[in-house]
Structures are given as C-alpha cells and as structure tokens.
Structure 1
Amino acid sequence: MNIPQGKKVYFASDNHLGAPTAEASRPREKKFVAWLDSIKHDAAAIFLVGDLFDFWFEYKTVVPKGFTRTLGKLAEISDSGIPIYFFVGNHDLWMNGYFQEELNIPVYHKPKEFIFNNKTFFIGHGDGLGPHDKGYKRMKKVFTNSFFKWVFRWVHPDIGVKIAQYLSVKNKLISGDDDAEFLGEDKEWLVQYSKEKLNEKHYNYFVFGHRHLPLEIKLNEHSKYINLGDWIGYYTYGVFDGENLELKEYK
C-alpha cells in the first residue's frame, strides 16, 4: 500500500471494552470513539490490534450486547472507504464473520506482514508468541478447538457470557496478560520474538499489543519494536506518516 502525502496509518489495541463492567468502560469507549472521529480525515488505514473487547463470542445468530458507539463509528469509517484491519486478541478471539459481513472489516487470527511505502511491518496482537506464555499457549489450543467452541455455543448466552466475563477478569492464565511493568529488554518476550524473526527476514517495524505498555525499542539500525500500550490507563496509539512510526497519546 502506498500512503498518499498527508495521509497516515493508525494503530490501536487493548481497549477491553466491557471490563470490569459495561458501565465502567463506557467513558473509555466514548474517548476511543472520539479518537476515531478525530483521525478519519487523514487516515489511509486503521489497524485495531486485538482485545478491542474484553470478551467477544459469536453465536450463529447472536453477538454480545453493547458497544454500539464503537461498532457504529467503525461502520461509518468503513463505509466511507477507509480500510480497517482487525486482529483478534486473547480476549476477543472467537470472531466468526460478523465484522466481515456487517462492517466489511477483515479479521486476522495470526500476525501478518504489510508493506507501506516500502517499509515492512509485522503486525499482530502478540499473545502466545515468544519463549514464554506456556500455560496460556496450552489454554489457547483448548479455546480455539472447534469442539470446545461447539460445546460453548450450546450454553445459553446469558450464562456463557457471564461466566466468560468473570474468568476474563479473574483468571490470569485465561487472560494471558502479564503485569504491565517493564523489566528490561531481556525479559520482554515479544522483543525476543521480534529479534528471532529478524534472523529469518528483515522488518522495519514489529507492531504488537497485549502487554498494555507503550514501548518503542530499537532492535537494530533499521528495525524497531513497538508496543501500542492500551486504552485503559495510557490511551496511546501508533501513527505512521509514510516515513516513520511513532507512539502518541490521545488526550
């Protein structure tokens, strides 16, 4: 994709709408919608890099209640011709066609490579990557198993969603989240993962979420690791102007 002069590519992740309750996340949702509204005039593309929702599961004819402001704004932007790309996170990985059919937004379940103005990007949520997260990796295999999803669909949504929301907040193994504290590059497993990927192929930018920490780490002379932070405490996002990618804070 060539980014026209004056246009930008935007990245955001980890809104966790619905956590800890729908009411408590409403101010964050309104702030996120205001941000979307503020960038649509110069957005060439928008990437939502996982955990937009704290829980999302698509039944055959039912999706979770709420998030009307966000879904409406995404529909408006998508209908205007601005492409939006959605990567599932560890909290909203049970997507099965709703975004594609209703919002014309492609959904990715694995990291993917993109090229903008000859700059190569490796983009994904970041859960289950790198040398650690072993407990979560085992749990994710269960969650993404077709039999497990079939069984869960037989649970009434009022019960299933309530159980999932409780576990999403209370169980660290299920959430897959680490404490949001920077302990050095050698302990950042997504940094380690990015360095390993560079042994296979060059990328200018690795863009991830999941850690809830806004981070910019130089990997070598031509590659950088970016963690987008979150929309809970930091309200940070990434913006690529056609030449450089940097983190900014929405106030």
Structure 2
Amino acid sequence: MITITTSKNKKVYFASDQHLGAPTNEASFPREKKFVAWLDDIKKDAEAIFLLGDLFDFWFEYKTVVPKGFVRTLGKLAEIKDAGIPIYFFVGNHDLWMHDYFEKELNIPVFHNPQVFTINNKILLIGHGDGLGPEDKGYKRMKKVFTFPLFKWMFRWLHPDLGVRLGQYMSVKNKLISGEEDAKYLGDENEWLVQYCKRKLSQAHYDYFVFGHRHLPLKIELQENSTYINLGDWIQYFTYGELNGSEFLLKEFKP
C-alpha cells in the first residue's frame, strides 16, 4: 500500500479517459491541448497525479516502437515527473497493451489492476474500472483474448504501420472490443461499478472508490463515510477529481 500525505496547500489530482487519437489524431488535437493545459495548471500545487487509463484510444508497445503522436502530453508528463511530482498510471481497456515504456522513459509506475492507496489517512481503491462487477461480460471475454500471450506475440509480428492502423480501427469502430458503454446513468442498482464497490465494502472499509471507464462524472454515497467516484472523461465533460485535504471534489476544467 502506498501512503501519501499532502503538504500545506497541496492537492492530489485524478483524471481518466482522454482517448487521445480518437477518432483521429487531428480531431483529438484540441482535446490534447486542453488536457495539457490542465496538467500545466495543476502542477503548481499537485502533491501527486493519478491517470486512470484510456489516456490513448489505442496503444501498443513493440520492443522498439510506440504509436506516433501525443508529443505534447508525453513531454508535459516528463516535465512534471522530472520536477519531482509523483504520477501514477492505471492501464485502461484502450491502452491495455502498455508495458514498460512509461516506466523506462518517464519513470511513471504503471498498474494493471486496482490498487489501494492511503492519502491523508483516507483509504482509496483506485483503478480504471473495466471488467469489474457482475456485468461487462462481453468485454471480459474479449480482454482474455487480447491479453493472451500468444495473441500479443502474433500481433507484435505485424508491421507497426499495419498493426497500429488495425488497432486504431478496432478501438474506434468496435464497441465490443473497446469495452465502451453508452454514457447513460443506469441508476445505482444497475451501475455495475457501484455493485462492485458495495461487494468490496463487505470485505473491508474504503473511504473512496475512484474509477474511470464509464465516461460519466458520478459521485455516489455508498454508505456513511464511503463514496464511489467516477471521473467522467475528456471528450464531453472535461472533468477531474481533486482530493483537497480529506475532501474529494469533482470539477470541470475551464481554462
């Protein structure tokens, strides 16, 4: 378990689901500039930054090649990390093929499963949110296929120009592969991440559950002193989380 205690006037920030590159690099460029502007804005008082997956709409790491683009985002993350601000990255369903590029090039740890953090004596369970809970069954099946070592080995033998183009096409066009859900609030009883959180609460206490994936900014009280947060996205809502002391706020970035 990683423990973080914020210094005076410092905050911890959370963001998810930027989907840079969707539907094309050119179309997502204004969104990337807005996200970079947010990073530039928060670096002045950030104790730590959590990125909860789907930063890219498609990402695959060959041994010596990564997808072209996103220079402003990667450069800003490198600048922030080099300034001594910790950044934690959680793999989403669109960048599930991330390996060690962030760790080697940016010194940013990468997590493939939800992790428990203690921040200012609050216990947080943090992750992207894909494949959790009782539903998302179609995506769970596809994830097993796409994370199977033989499949990844076969895909790696495709020329990067072909492999990346194919991956981008599947990511944008095929909802089954992408695991995307319609961004509609289903009600607490039908929100499968809410059900997942309630099941986890039966095993241990968490002050906050923080996830992405649903593309909806949500803040739902599960029980006294336990809250489920969904961070929304950077396609429609441009929302992010801010842990200020012990209070978790959902905010919209308006540069």
Query: Partner residue of 1:87?
Result: 90
1:134 deviation in Å? 0.9
Select the residue among 198, 208, 227 that pairs with 1:224: 227
Is 1:205 aligned to 2:208, yes or no?
A: yes
Partners of 1:23 and 1:204 in 2: how far apart? 40
Partners of 1:16 and 1:51 in 2: how far apart? 5
Query: Partner residue of 2:111?
Result: 108
Matches within 5 A, 1:65-214: 65-214=68-217
Q: Deviations 1:85-107 (Å, cap 9, x if unpaired)? A: 00000000111111000000000
Partners of 1:116 and 1:171 in 2: how far apart? 37
Partners of 1:53 and 1:166 in 2: how far apart? 13
List 4+ stretches of structure 1 deviating above 2 A. none
Q: Deviations 1:130-169 (Å, cap 9, x if unpaired)? A: 0001111011011111111110000011111111111111
Percent identical across equivalent pairs? 73
Query: Partner residue of 1:60?
Result: 63
Partners of 2:99 and 2:236 in 1: how far apart? 29
Is 1:12 aligned to 2:22, yes or no?
A: no
1:3 deviation in Å? 1.0
Output the amino acid matched with 2:122. K
Partners of 1:219 and 1:246 in 2: how far apart? 16
| TM-score in terms of structure 2 length | 0.98
**SS of the residue 1:245 aligns to:** strand
Pairwise CA RMSD:
0.5
Output the amino acid matched with 1:177. E
1:233 deviation in Å? 0.4
**SS of the residue 2:213 aligns to:** coil
1:243 deviation in Å? 1.3
1:246 deviation in Å? 1.0
In the alignment, structure 2 segments of 5+ residues that lack a partner are none
1:4 deviation in Å? 1.2
Partners of 1:213 and 1:96 in 2: how far apart? 27
Output the amino acid matched with 1:138. R
Partners of 2:144 and 2:14 in 1: how far apart? 27
Kindly tell me the number of residue pairs found equivalent between the two proteins. 251
Is 1:235 aligned to 2:242, yes or no?
A: no
1:242 deviation in Å? 1.7
Output the amino acid matched with 1:57. F
| TM-score in terms of structure 1 length | 0.99
1:5 deviation in Å? 1.8
Matches within 5 A, 1:11-30: 11-30=14-33
1:187 deviation in Å? 1.0
Output the amino acid matched with 2:151. F
Output the amino acid matched with 2:24. T
Is 1:35 aligned to 2:38, yes or no?
A: yes
1:50 deviation in Å? 0.4
